[in-house]
Every structure is written in C-alpha cells, then in structure tokens.
Amino acid sequence: MEFSRTIERLKEFARRPGSGPRRTAPISDISAQTGPLTVVVIGASLAGLFAAAAVAGSGHHVIVVERDHLPDSADPRPGVPQGQQPHVFLLRGLRAAEKLLPGLRANLESRGAVPIATTRFAWLGEQGWAPVHSSEFEIISLTRPLFEQVVRQRVFALAGVEVRDDTRVKGLRRNSSPGSPAWHVEISTGVEISADLVIDASGRSSRMPIWLAALGISAPELSEVDAHTGYATRMYERGPSLGVLSGIVLHGTPEHPTGGLVLPVENDRWLVLGVGFGELRPPRDILGFEAFLRRLRDPGVADFAARSTPCSDVLVHRQTGNRHHHYEKLRDWPDGLLVIGDAFVAFNPVYAQGITVAACEALVLLEALADSRRPVSARRLMRRFASVAGLPWEIAVSFDLRQPSTTGEQTLVQKLTSAWTRELWRLGIHGNARAIRVLNTLYHLLGTPAELFHPVLIWAAIHARLRGYGPGTTRPSDLAALAEAPENPNQR
C-alpha cells in the first residue's frame, strides 16, 4: 500500500504544471530588429560555436572572441581542460547540432567518428548488468578536439562569422546613447567592439559575476552540488575485440564509489577512463592508474587495458561540480546580454549533458533571433535556457547527492524519484525491455520524467514485488572472452 502511495506522489509531481517551461511577459527588447544585429560571442568552445551557428543561421553578424589560439588541427587547448577526457555525445545533442549545422554527423563520420549503440555497452549499474540488445540509441564516438575542429570549420565557414582568437575579453560597458549598439566589449588589444547582443559562452571560468558587479547589477543566487568526482584517462591502440559490445561502462555507486569506461574513438584507438569520488579519485601516475583499474568491482576495464597498447600519458580532470548561476531570476538582468553553456549551468561531466544542453540552448536562440515578428527579450531567453537545463540538472544533482563525498542531501522528491528509477533499472536487468527503453530515452534527454510512471511500468513493479523479479542479466560473455586473450607485454 505504501509503495502505491509513493508512486501516486511521484506521478502527481511529474504532472505538476509548475515543473514545465514558464512563459514570461517581455521585459525589454534586444533591439528594434530593423536590420541585422552585431553579436559578440565570448568563447569558441562548443557552446560558443553552437551559439555562433544560431546567430549566423538567423541572418545576423557574429564576432567570436576566444582567448586561446585556435589550431587548424584537432589538438587540445588550454581553455578546454577536460578536452582529452572521454565524451559521450547524447542523442538529443547530436540531433540539435545537426539542426544547427546540417550534415554535421556525416562530416564527423568522414573524419573517423565511430557509430556506437549505447544499448550494446557492457553496462554494470547499481543493480547489476544491463541487457545487451539491439542497436538502439546510436550515437557517434570521437575525441573532443576532433569534434571541436570539425564544428569550428563548419561555423567559421558560415556567412557573417568573424573570428578573433588570441584575444581576451576584459570587460563590458553599456552604451547609453540612443540608437547605438547596446554594448561595448573591451578586449585585450585595447580596443572595444560595439555589439547589439553579447553572449557569454566562456565556460566554468566565466567572469560574468565580476562584470555584473562592475555594472551595478545584483549578484545572482548560486546553486552548487559537488560530489568531488575525479577522472583519469589514457589513450590506447591495438585494442582487443569486444565482440558485439560497443564499449564497457562500470558505473560508480554510493556502495562502490569508483568506476571505469572503455570507449572507441577515431583512428582505431580507445579511451580508458577511471573515475572515483572523494578520496577514491584515480591518480595521475601510470602504475597507480593501472592499480586503480584492477581494484574496480569488475575486471573488464582492467582486462581491456592490459591487452592494449598505451599511446598517451595518464591525464586527470577534477573540475566536476554542478554549478548553476541563477541569472534567469535577476529582475534587473540587462537587455542585450545572454549567458549560455557551462557559464550558466555546468554539470558533472560523468553524465555527458553539457554539450547537449549547449546545443539545445543554441536552438532556442536560433528560434528567437529568426522570428522577426517578435522582439527578443534577453530575460525571457535566459528563462528558456534555464528550462532547457532544468531536467539535466535534476538528473545530475540527484545522482551526485547520493554520493558520500557530497555535502547536502536529496529533497524528498529526489529521493522518491531516485528510488523509483532504481526500481525501473531492477525491472530492466530482469528482462523488462520497456523499463530499459524508458530509462535510455531519459538518459539521452529525449523523454520526460512523466514517462517513468506509465501504468504498465507501475503494474510491472507491483507484480515483481509480489511474484518476484525472475532471473537477472548475466555478465556479457564477450567480457569473459576478453579475459582469455593474451596480455600485451609492452604495457608501459
């Protein structure tokens, strides 16, 4: 009876009107839109590139300002410290990027991006092994520097796009002259760029709070949840066959706060990652990294690494906290100013949400700028960006708040939703295909929380509680075959 009441409370929350996007009355307009705007985008990472594609795609002129030197090749750069870590590009994000830059997926695959089905991962979750089945939810896998290079080439070839790299933005100044561009952007060369619209896409290192304070604008509320997650990654080549498997995922849990990943990338290479929370974060040295992999709760990742040839050092990354600057709540938010991507809402990268959210925010921007019938309100747009980030934020912080290394605890709704999600995973690993599909849909940000509470799933959970769950999914046989392959004698 208590189980049924819990489900009803969760269903009621998922239907609650206030949980969806909110429509607000326009506060002010970016411009009268009598002609093309001049837009400055701060930052040429993926969020900035997607924003520039949206601006150019709606017929406006865009100047991309980037503090790093932008290479012609697919090389990592200082402004993207997580650039050499594995990235899983969620299906919704790929679809959004394809709308911004039609043909992008074909461009990426022509450069070596590997099509993979996330339903064919050997995935060890909290309740056990997920079933390996048909090739649904196919995405592509490649390194972040190659992804950025291809997107950069596409965006910079668009009409109306101007690029200024090796250039730092020092500050923003409003223009009080009527009929003139709303902003002056001060850059490191000592000159200013006049702009009708400024978009901050400079990531976690954004100086927007400092710039707002200099403009006399109140500081926004900051929400932060940090599970103190740490990653260590090494590149390998000549890896052994995984059979039908796309890769390996060992998910960290509160009971087992370490995990690992094996992911194919371009040029027949593989990224092998170790992840841990708090004091269990993996080390940078090679011997320590290999020992960390051997201590994981399944030997699959360590077996793969031992049978492959390493071709890089071990690289670590620890800037992983979830951070939301609530700019959308500021009543004195200035017109002609937007914040997008990690500069607005940053996620723990383990959930692979940041690039997808940035692409979806850029689609919102494209829609707003392309509609000449309706003036653009910066405050309205910030609220719409917050709506885009709302579900991914809840997913990320809900999982991270369960980790012992996190300060804070879940709300009652988060606890109930987490419990129900774990119940669905339990159903899935015991053969309920619908439960797995719904969870995969939500993981790729293609669904809504309400889909978790379909009556068929609720009845399946009640039935399993009364009659038993049946046999669970066993460890994929291809992992057993992997363990039997000879080890690489030239590991280091």
Over 60: is that where the pLDDT of 8 sits? no
Structure confidence at residue 283 (pLDDT): 95
Rounded Cα distance, 343 and 37, in Å: 23
Structure confidence at residue 489 (pLDDT): 66
Domains of the chain: 26-116+139-225+323-398 (3.50.50.60), 229-319 (3.30.70.2450)
Exposure on the CB side of residue 391, measured as CA atoms within 13 A: 18
What are the pLDDT digits (tens) for 31-75?
Answer: 444 578 999 999 999 999 999 999 999 999 999 999 999 988 888
More confident residue, 22 or 10: 10
Over 60: is that where the pLDDT of 27 sits? no
What are the pLDDT digits (tens) for 199-253?
Answer: 999 999 999 999 999 999 988 999 999 999 999 999 999 999 999 999 999 999 9
More confident residue, 400 or 14: 400
How much of the chain exceeds pLDDT 70, in percent?
91
Which pTM value belongs to this model? Answer: 0.90
User: For residue 98, what are the contacts with CB-CB under 8 A and spacing of at least 6?
Assistant: 104, 105
Lowest mean pLDDT segment, chosen from 30-44, 218-232, 258-272, 351-365: 30-44
> Mean pLDDT for the chain?
89
Nearest C-alpha neighbor of 388 from the set 337, 411, 354, 439: 354
Dihedral sign for Cα 333, 335, 341, 342, please. negative
Rounded Cα distance, 74 and 113, in Å: 13
More confident residue, 242 or 3: 242
What are the pLDDT digits (tens) for 423-455?
Answer: 999 999 999 999 999 999 999 999 888 999 999
pLDDT band at 12 (very low <50, low <70, confident <90, very high): low
Structure confidence at residue 19 (pLDDT): 38
Structure confidence at residue 48 (pLDDT): 97
